Amino acid sequence: MKKNKSGLVMLGIVVLLYAVLFSLNADKTLMALKESLGVLKMIIPILVLVLTLTALLNTFIDEKSISRHLGEESGLKGWLLALIGGILSHGPGYVWYPMLQNLRERGAKDGLIGAFIYARAVKIPWIPLMIAYFGWTFTVVYTVYVVLGAWVQGVLLGRWMALSKDDIKIHHQDKSSKE
């Protein structure tokens, strides 16, 4: 299996940039590096927690049981699972698409999948950073609005997709009756 080395390439680029900047202005570069390390220290504990939770979820909960809880009759439980799952998910979004497609094929509602994707805008490791830069009030209001927006987007997507499926059924019925 081929390994993705983009993280190492990015690290190399950052180290190279710091070296160039250090040669231009050592004092400011050291100050920037110190600030970067402070941010890293703030994020690491939460990042470890998120990685641990995600590993536990991936190990002990299979897709079939998840899809049972995200189907047409899932109600409030399905919305909560989709929103919380989106918030807790990490990594690039495209990594989640195959799993979400699998869930959709097994009966998960389109609206819940849309809400999951939208709720990924809340990044738990970034919350301490947001609080540090913008304060508690901004961070809480922003997070609540994103979660509400995820729910609204999910509802709208679910209705739109249901209408599209009905249009396809009607179109096929009209074709059949004309033949």
Place of tokens 């250090």: 22
DSSP string for 98-140: HHHHHHHHTT--HHHHHHHHHHTTS-GGGHHHHHHHH-HHHHH
Where do the domains of the chain lie? 1-60, 62-179
**pLDDT tens-place string over residues 61-96:** 675 676 678 877 788 989 999 999 999 887 767 667
Whether 147 shows a pLDDT value over 60: the answer reads: yes
pLDDT in tens, 120-130: 999 888 899 99
Q: Which amino acid, 65? A: S
Compute, in degrees rounded to 10, the torsion defined by CA atoms 69, 139, 118, 44.
-80
Distance separating alpha carbons of residues 165 and 160, to the nearest angstrom: 9
Q: What is the pLDDT of residues 42-64, one digit of tens each?
A: 777 766 765 675 566 667 767 56
Reported as a pLDDT band with limits 50, 70 and 90, residue 16 is very high
More confident residue, 172 or 86: 86
Q: Tokens for 38?
A: 């402070």
**What is the separation, in whole angstroms, between the first and last Cα of the chain?**
52
